[in-house]
Amino acid sequence: MIWVAATLIAAVAQTARNAAQAGLGGRIGTIGATSVRFIFGFPFAALFLLLLTPFTNLPPLNATAIGFTAMGAGAQIGATAFMLLTMRGQSFGVATALMKTEPVTLALIGILILNEPMGPASLAAIGLATLGVMLSSGARWSRAGLIPVVNGITAGTLFGLSAIGFRGALLTLPEGSFFVHALTILVLTLGLQSSITLAWMLIADRRALRGITGEWRVSLAAGGLGAFASLFWFIGFALTPAANVRTLALIEVVFAQIVSGRFLHESTGRMQLIGMALIAAGVGWLLALTATGG
């Protein structure tokens, strides 16, 4: 169950990255804040791979692996942009809940693109955990606007497509170390994303580029944490269908609610408690199924 540990490590590291990156948007703009995770994460991943090279054989990259990686990298950039758009909407809870429908999207896309069928019990566990997220989000669906809903669904779909791209790239590599495979695809992904976002800022947003340079300390911390988190996401994708990884990651919602109640003294409503229970039940069910090969 290495993928379980990898997913939990990735979720914690991603939370830390988000905390490091939290204030950047207001200081250097949306594009700049989005680009930080790619541009400052790439040197960390590339250096680690370079240091590892004398001790292992790197897997050869074929056209299919590069194509899947490019699909994942592009979809992740688009997903991040739509995610940031949802944060500006009136229906924040609704949009956030819809973005968390990613595991369901992943399961469906995985069946269509990667031919990774999931049994009815696994699909039910994924659906149960996703329903829990929607209930625990505190969303007021009666006030949901069309644009935030569309943006949220689009972000969730693109995040799902990006995970499928990374999973597909990893599956095309020859047999070998899952760790080396994950690191290789991560370096390729961050290299592509850094090139795309740097080119965009050079052409259309020089202010964001100057802002990143001025905030290099915070950007470096966010980039390092982001690369660390992504490495463990990719390790999870190398070992199990992406839908399993993202479903387990939903347990982060429960942790966030516990922290907000314990340390921030924020109240938790009955519907949120029911939602957290459903998340825990869905995740536990899925882990039991994967442990028994169900």
pLDDT tens-digit profile of 26-78? Answer: 677 767 877 888 999 999 999 999 999 988 888 999 999 999 999 999 999 88
Per-residue burial over 13-25, b = 16 or more CB atoms within 10 Å of its CB, e = otherwise: bbbbbeebbeebb
* Phi-psi sector, 192: left (phi>0), alpha (psi -120 to 50), beta: alpha
φ and ψ at residue 37, rounded to 5 degrees? -65, -30
Name residues whose C-beta falls within 8 Å of residue 276's C-beta, 6 or more positions apart in sequence: 132, 136, 253, 254, 257, 268
* The predicted structure's pLDDT at residue 167: 94
Confidence of residue 190 (pLDDT cuts 50, 70, 90): very high
CA 271 to chain centroid: 26
* The predicted structure's pLDDT at residue 6: 94
Percent above pLDDT 70 for the chain:
80
Percent above pLDDT 90 for the chain:
31
User: What integer is the mean pLDDT of 261-285?
Assistant: 70
CA distances, 237 to each of 14, 110, 135 (Å): 16, 12, 27
* The predicted structure's pLDDT at residue 268: 58
Does residue 265 surpass a pLDDT of 70? no
Is the pLDDT higher at 152 or at 49? 49
CA 194 to chain centroid: 17
Is the pLDDT higher at 59 or at 81? 59
**AA identity, residue 211:** G
Cβ atoms of residues 189 and 133 within 8 Å: no
106, two tokens = 């992943």
Cβ atoms of residues 113 and 168 within 8 Å: yes
Does residue 263 surpass a pLDDT of 50? no
* The predicted structure's pLDDT at residue 169: 96
Confidence of residue 264 (pLDDT cuts 50, 70, 90): very low
Does residue 293 surpass a pLDDT of 50? yes
Does residue 239 surpass a pLDDT of 80? yes
User: What integer is the mean pLDDT of 156-179?
Assistant: 91
pLDDT tens digits for range 86-131: 666 545 556 566 667 778 777 877 777 887 777 888 888 888 888 8
Does residue 141 surpass a pLDDT of 60? no
* The predicted structure's pLDDT at residue 23: 67
pLDDT tens digits for range 193-214: 999 999 988 998 888 888 888 8
Cβ atoms of residues 80 and 263 within 8 Å: no
Q: State the DSSP code for 54.
A: G
* The predicted structure's pLDDT at residue 150: 77
